[in-house]
Amino acid sequence: MVKLMYIITPKAGLTRDEFQRYWLDIHAPIVKEIPHLERYVVNVFRPRSDGTSPVIGGVAEQWFASAEAMRAALSTAAAERARADISNFAEVAQNVFGLVDEHVVVGGGVDAGPGDSLISARRS
């Protein structure tokens, strides 16, 4: 499996609730239409104990069966619609994305495995 992760910064002016609602109720259904997408996980950051919001709004995980499947998926019209929608709820210039190798240290889980992906950080 190949895992692509996005670190998402909320769009200026959105409350945490507005950001989360848009991501889950509007953007996520668009992403679900991307072919070859095996798994899509949205991790929304909770407010800090002092009540303030973290700078990062959350992390998204997209899983594909292979690098070839990922490349095919990301070249589709559905993926283009998802990319175009990001600016509606996130600060695109501040988002970071990249392929990762997951290393499960405690507990079970899916391991992308060495060689399946490249650790990197890129601006979207």
Q: Which residues pair with 71 in a beta bridge?
A: none
**Neighbour tally for 102: CB within 10 Å:** 16
Copy the structure tokens of residue 48: 């800090």
- Which residue range forms the structural domain that includes residue 96? 2-123
Q: What is the predicted pLDDT for the residue at 109?
A: 56
List pLDDT tens digits, range 75-117: 999 999 999 999 999 999 999 999 999 888 998 755 444 444 4
- The number of domains in the chain is 1
Residue 24 confidence class, pLDDT cut points 50, 70, 90 = very high
CATH for 117: 3.30.70.100
pTM for this predicted structure: 0.82
